[in-house]
Structure 1
Amino acid sequence: MSARLARRDHRAAWLFLLPVIIVMLVVALWPLGRTFFFAFTDAYLDDPSVYSMTGVDNFLEVINDRSWWIAVKNTLIFTVISVAIETVLGLAIALLVNEAIPGRGLARAAILVPWAIPVVVSTKIWEWMLNDQFGVINKVLIGLGLIDHGVPWTASGSLLMGVVIFVDVWMTTPFMVLLILAGLQLISSEIFEAAEVDGIPAWKRFWSITLPMLRPAIGVAVLFRVLDALRMFDLAYVMAASNESVMTVSIYARDRLISFQELGIGSAASTWVFLLVALVAIIIIGVLRLDRAAGT
């Protein structure tokens, strides 16, 4: 009887998943397949119907391009630093708003504001605020005596990556807060109450109880954030267009595809981006599975 129920539940699950699978095949697999096909051609965007097969030449041209490796370096630097900062800040803020403090509901709502604003709007707001002539950030720093003249935050190649990371942290930390806070809500308060009664210090409760039980939630949050950061395009492009200081792999692929109209090479670059993101996703998921197995 139980085996029959299990089979029925299994069939019902597949029936519910079937529409999602069909939609994913239509909206994801077909474009990916077309991109992968054109990556082996010399097609141009102005007339994609005219092309000849080039084998792996496009892939080799991309990986032999100095700009591609600059984009890879920038992408990895941005991903590692921004995700690390967002994870630490997200954990700290989630722990704070999880406490029974006055105005907790208002604080949770306020945290969502940066994440709710469209990326392009947020980027332009910060670009104006950081302007070296009339930006409020420079005026405040000059007023405090920290600088004596306006700093060209978004025009200096040495500062641009830091600015992009700062704006991304401001925009995306709420996402980490939400996911980590959801994990905190699943931890029974009785565990902490029992530990407090036993006289265990707060730091030890955090290190021995809170952090281990939050590892799955933090792992999922980091996975989503890393995958999103690796394909980051809009923030850096709106802030600095194709400036090499913040050029990411997605911007590189866009430039070859749109600016140079090279559909074949642009598709090859896009395929490399897809493979990079897929590889990182596989590694992170493998680490999460090993961690879960070790925990059980």
Structure 2
Amino acid sequence: MTTTLTQAQEIADAAIAPRPTPVERRRVRAAWLFLAPMLLCLLLVAAWPLLRTFWFSLTDASLSNTGAGNFVGLSNYLFHDGSEWSGILVDPQWWNAVRNTLYFSAVSVGLEVVLGLAVALLLNVRFAGRTLVRAMILIPWAIPTIVSAKIWSWMLNDQFGILNHLMLGLGLIDAPLAWTADAELSMWAVIVVDVWKTLPFVALLMLAALQMLPADCYEAARVDGIHPLKVFWRVTLPLLMPALLVATIFRVLDSLRVFDVIYVLTSNSSSTMSMSVFARQQLVEFQDVGYGSAASTLLFLIVAAIATLYLYLGRRQLEVR
């Protein structure tokens, strides 16, 4: 009986809902017309290469002759020959790359969000030379990643790097450290370089959001004598949450696909190898297009799943607020 009443209510609501007017229909058609070139471009530059990569992952094609590959189904992902399992899903090097990427993403993005918010709060304060400082802080973000990674690789060199020279001069270390060669230090070296490079991006987004906050809330808090820390936790941070979610999702997507900074600093080192570096190694160095395409496809699925989950949880949190 309850189900019947619910269905009847839904039918009544649909009947009451106003139908789109001719003007609204023309606006919808115009919107699709303007979106068509962008959708076509997206189809050509994203969807087609993605589908082609997925197709290659189902073959045994090689880089020397991609057209001569035979269809092997899901063997590149998982295959059992009667005695043992093979494929990327049981490849320890692939799962090591997954762990490295997730660890790199969690630590680097966490540091960037916290430090970026702190820098934005400092730059939002009025002081002499604030405009110059705002311009200077964008320099790391403006430098191409390959260039900045190469500069840092020279600075971190264990033989002639300036970082070791300064630390030796200050007595902080007794011998030069191999920052990019030592398995215990290389990941942290990569994280530091990535944070230095992308911190201005997060800080700029947070600064723009801070300048759009309503001033009357802070005036009321000042009149009531509320402590600044309480104002930050109760007023500033909740109002910044949408911008914070946008900055975080952008950085999460970038960090999960990281390649250049890791490859320039540590090449194919297993201690820092990311999923992108693993896929490149299979495709270029081993010339195994099928296996490399399987790694690229899994990378896309992991990134898409994490992005979807993050956006869903972020939307739910904003709805609760």
- Which of residues 67, 71, 78 in structure 2 aligns to 1:49? 67
- Which of residues 207, 213, 222 in structure 2 aligns to 1:196? 222
Give the letter for the 1:132 counterpart.
D
Q: Deviations over 1:201-236 (max 9, x none)?
A: 100110000000000000011001001100100000
Q: Name the residue aligned to 1:147.
A: 173
Q: Name the residue aligned to 1:206.
A: 232
SS of aligned partner of 1:59: coil
Superposition deviation, residue 18 in structure 1: 1.5
Q: Name the residue aligned to 1:24.
A: 42
Q: Name the residue aligned to 1:221.
A: 247
Superposition deviation, residue 184 in structure 1: 1.2
Alignment partner of 1:138 is 2:164: yes
Give the letter for the 1:267 counterpart.
S
- Which of residues 280, 284, 308 in structure 2 aligns to 1:258? 284
Give the stretch that moved more between structures: 138-147 or 219-228: 138-147
Identity of aligned residues (%): 51
Q: Deviations over 1:49-106 (max 9, x none)?
A: 1121111110121111110010001001000000000000000001111122211111
Q: Name the residue aligned to 1:38.
A: 56
Superposition deviation, residue 4 in structure 1: 4.2
Which protein has greater RCO, CA pairs closer than 8 Å, 6+ apart?
1
Distance 1:53 1:106 in 2: 59
Distance 1:165 1:178 in 2: 20
Give the letter for the 1:38 counterpart.
F
Please report the TM-score for the alignment, with normalisation by the length of structure 2.
Answer: 0.89
Which stretches in structure 1 are left out of the alignment for 5+ residues? none
Alignment partner of 1:13 is 2:31: yes
Distance 2:27 2:211 in 1: 29
Q: Name the residue aligned to 2:15.
A: none
Alignment partner of 1:126 is 2:152: yes
Distance 2:220 2:128 in 1: 24
- Which of residues 100, 104, 119 in structure 2 aligns to 1:74? 100
SS of aligned partner of 1:157: coil
Superposition deviation, residue 10 in structure 1: 2.6
Which stretches in structure 2 are left out of the alignment for 5+ residues? 1-18, 79-86
The root-mean-square deviation of aligned C-alpha atoms, in Å, is: 1.4
Alpha carbons of 1:197 and 1:149: their partners in 2 closer, same or farther (altered >3 Å)?
A: same
Q: Deviations over 1:4-24 (max 9, x none)?
A: 443333333222222111110
Give the stretch that moved more between structures: 101-110 or 155-164: 101-110
Give the letter for the 2:45 counterpart.
V
Distance 1:82 1:95 in 2: 20
Superposition deviation, residue 3 in structure 1: 4.0
Distance 1:132 1:35 in 2: 40
Aligned residues: 295
Distance 1:40 1:131 in 2: 42
Q: Deviations over 1:97-120 (max 9, x none)?
A: 112221111111111100111111
Superposition deviation, residue 122 in structure 1: 0.6
Distance 2:25 2:169 in 1: 71
SS of aligned partner of 1:245: coil
SS of aligned partner of 2:136: helix
Give the stretch that moved more between structures: 148-157 or 118-127: 148-157
Give the stretch that moved more between structures: 227-236 or 127-136: 127-136
Superposition deviation, residue 180 in structure 1: 1.3
